[in-house]
Amino acid sequence: MDGDARGGAALSIRAVTDRPIKFLGVGEKMEALEAFHPDRMASRILGMGDVVSLVERAQENIDVEQAQKLEKKLRKNQFNLEDFYAQLQQIKKMGPLEQLLKMIPGMGKQLKNIQVDDSAFVKVEAIINSMTVVERQKPEIINGSRRKRIASGSGTKVQDVNQLLRQFNEMKKMMKRLKKMRPRLGGGMDPGAFPFS
């Protein structure tokens, strides 16, 4: 069901077998087998997303205790690359990124001509794994020579390391702005609000 003809496939299977569809596969692995919900499938086909399935998948794969610890770190502005790496691992458990994005209403149409590359995760993981514990906890200490060493150890280029650090810093700035907005918005922060901060 991860192809473009998913609606036709469901109708054909039902017509040929004369049996109801109970499960469907959205990928090649066993974890990609999920319960069939006709209304959710219709929403996906129409490009309206499937928020219910996305939330269910998040609940199955996101560790609530870890999310609460992350929330505390976010409030104190102590989010670092180790936390980022942990969040990345939780996202990977949820399935291919393209599938997850298609579950968000309106994203299906926007992704039509865009190729989402999950191998980007591999590069990010390699870069973070090539850092020392201190570098992951305090990314601001990563200077030019450290960047060269990290790039060499991860089999990437210095530009890739720079890009990751730049994106990480932009993310921290965005979180800071959200933190300032929080009192105006009212209420607490949902522990799962930043599944891949």
89: CATH: 1.10.260.30
Do 82 and 150 fall within a single domain?
yes
Give 164-183 pLDDT, tens digit per residue.
999 888 888 877 776 666 55
Do 26 and 59 fall within a single domain?
no
Dist. CA 117–CA 150, nearest whole Å: 22
Do 30 and 54 fall within a single domain?
no
Asked if residue 197 is part of any domain, the answer here is no
Asked if residue 194 is part of any domain, the answer here is no
Give 23-65 pLDDT, tens digit per residue.
877 777 777 787 877 777 766 666 565 666 666 677 676 677 7
Q: Looking at residues 158-169, what average pLDDT do you find?
A: 92
Do 8 and 105 fall within a single domain?
no
CB 23 within 8 A of CB 33: yes
Asked if residue 191 is part of any domain, the answer here is no
Domain residue limits at 14: 1-36
Asked if residue 190 is part of any domain, the answer here is no
Give 104-134 pLDDT, tens digit per residue.
665 555 555 556 666 778 889 999 999 999 9
The total number of structural domains that make up the chain:
2
CB 90 within 8 A of CB 61: yes
Dist. CA 196–CA 60, nearest whole Å: 15
Asked if residue 42 is part of any domain, the answer here is no
pTM, rounded to two decimals? 0.55
Which pLDDT value is given to residue 144? Answer: 94
The Cα-based distances of 191 to 64, 66, 87, 152, 163 in angstroms read 7, 9, 12, 36, 27
Do 133 and 180 fall within a single domain?
yes
